Copies of this chain bind each other. A is one copy, B any other.
């Protein structure tokens, strides 16, 4: 099973990189591990470590335009789900759509309702279920923030050239398909 992906830490095959690419922190960490345990295949760290670190850094930076609007990223994800689907969603649909737990969705809905960004109505047939929709204010807020957010994200990513971004998106997509497909049934 073990893919022996034992290539050198930095010797990339991509023809783009012309010269002196500085070392990122993950490379440094991996280097340390390799001197302590030269026998181990540290390949996975270079992907997983970097994904985690990128996620952390991006989250910190990325959320700047959101914070200005007084929203956290999970809150924005919830509003965004309502906006992009274009129709009402039940709380359980929102948990699926935003990949978070039911309890978290309940709390966020409470807050967002109090702020008048979201409304709920009960189902007429099944009185267990609720239907949540954006208020006008909520829709306007999302529509106002989204372009700012995307513009900001664009500049954050601009350190990587365009073909690089395309490749990165594609590779992450391939990985994600595998993870989403296979990960439910992995109990190693």
Residues of A within 8 A of B (CB): 1-5, 7, 10, 12-14, 17, 21-27, 29, 32-33, 36-37, 40-48, 50-62, 64-65, 80, 83-86, 99, 143, 146-147, 150-183, 186-188
Taking CB atoms, residues of chain B closer than 8 Å to A188 are: 64-65, 152, 155
Asked whether A48 and B168 contact (CB < 8 A) given A25-B176, A146-B40, A176-B53, the answer is no
Interface of A is mostly: helix
Q: Is the CB of A84 within 8 A of B186?
A: no
Q: Is the CB of A83 within 8 A of B36?
A: yes
Asked whether A12 and B170 contact (CB < 8 A) given A150-B42, A151-B2, A188-B64, the answer is yes
